[in-house]
């Protein structure tokens, strides 16, 4: 990594108890993410003043009226990958999020989470060599972990009341176990521990404002020791694969204080 290219990157100190702060002030500047790591939406990202007041700067992501999935027009949201080096078996991702005061949650949308293996665990693609644990907002602001993972889960995976199974387009884990409201800041954290290869002993833990709100054990997140937690999958948009998910208004989410702890 070219340190000069990361204008807001803190000095990195990785150990079993140290943390890696992605951005010193918690916001992204254009050019701060290498082009190869962007999936879409670079023009939808801006640095602005804190919507709750004060002089601090934060990241704002735009969702134009009528936007939903990334392949539709207009295209809202943004997606990029931030790599954690070296990759790990246990990582906690924490960041602050704020939904604009005019935000309409509609049927739901994606939010940043962790990923491992290849970068293809989204959009209904094969999950044999990757996983992702993005957050989602759902109707009325209900939160969940939106899980892409290998298909060979524990036998009782789909009978767990916290799980809504979808082996084609991602599983809903813990829907409604926490809830977002518009017009206020939240601190969200997810800790992912990878399973021992051949076992279903991985887990995901979630905290909202530092209170644990979800723990899902007995997960299989990999089938090969080559799959590690590679970093953050910053992914946000409304959807959903059809216009019924689209935002009815031009709106925004805001972000700050990104941190990955190993």
The fold adopted by the segment(s) 31-261 is Jelly Rolls (2.60.120)
Domain positions in the chain are 31-261
- The whole-angstrom separation of Cα 97 and Cα 236 is 12
pLDDT tens track, the chain, 262 positions: 333 332 222 222 222 334 545 334 456 666 678 889 999 999 999 999 999 999 899 999 999 999 999 999 999 999 999 988 889 999 999 999 999 999 999 999 999 999 999 999 999 999 999 999 999 999 999 999 999 999 999 999 999 999 999 999 999 999 999 999 999 999 999 999 999 999 999 999 999 999 999 999 999 999 999 999 999 999 999 999 999 999 999 999 999 998 888 8
Residues 6+ apart with CB under 8 A from 131: 115, 116, 117, 121, 147, 148, 149, 150, 221, 222, 227
Which of 231, 208, 247 shows the shortest CA–CA distance to 88?
231
Q: How far apart are CA 89 and CA 82, in angstroms?
A: 16
pLDDT at 4: 37
């Amino acid at each position: 990594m070219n340190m000069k290219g990361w204008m807001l990157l803190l000095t990195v100190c990785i150990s079993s108890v140290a943390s890696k702060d992605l951005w010193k002030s918690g916001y992204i500047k254009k050019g701060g993410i290498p082009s190869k790591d962007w999936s879409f939406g670079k023009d939808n990202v801006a640095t602005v003043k804190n919507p709750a007041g004060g002089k601090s700067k934060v990241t704002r992501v735009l969702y134009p009226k009528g936007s939903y999935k990334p392949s539709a027009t207009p295209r809202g949201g943004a997606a990029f990958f931030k790599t954690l080096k070296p990759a790990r078996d246990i990582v906690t991702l924490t960041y602050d999020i704020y939904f604009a005061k005019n935000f309409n949650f509609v049927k739901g949308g994606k939010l940043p989470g962790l990923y491992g293996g290849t970068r293809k665990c989204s959009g209904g693609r094969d999950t044999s060599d990757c996983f992702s644990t993005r957050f989602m907002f759902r109707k009325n602001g209900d939160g969940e972990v939106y899980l892409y993972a290998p298909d060979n889960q524990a036998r009782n995976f789909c009978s767990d009341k916290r799980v809504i199974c979808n082996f084609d387009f991602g599983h809903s884990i813990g829907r409604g176990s926490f809830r977002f409201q518009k017009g206020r800041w939240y601190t969200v954290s997810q800790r992912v521990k990878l399973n021992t290869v051949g076992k279903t002993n991985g887990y995901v833990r979630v905290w909202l404002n530092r209170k644990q709100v979800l723990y899902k054990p007995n997960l299989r997140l990999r089938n090969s020791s080559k799959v590690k937690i590679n970093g953050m999958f910053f992914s946000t948009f409304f959807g959903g694969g059809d216009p019924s998910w689209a935002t009815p208004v031009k709106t925004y989410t805001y972000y700050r204080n990104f941190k990955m702890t190993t």
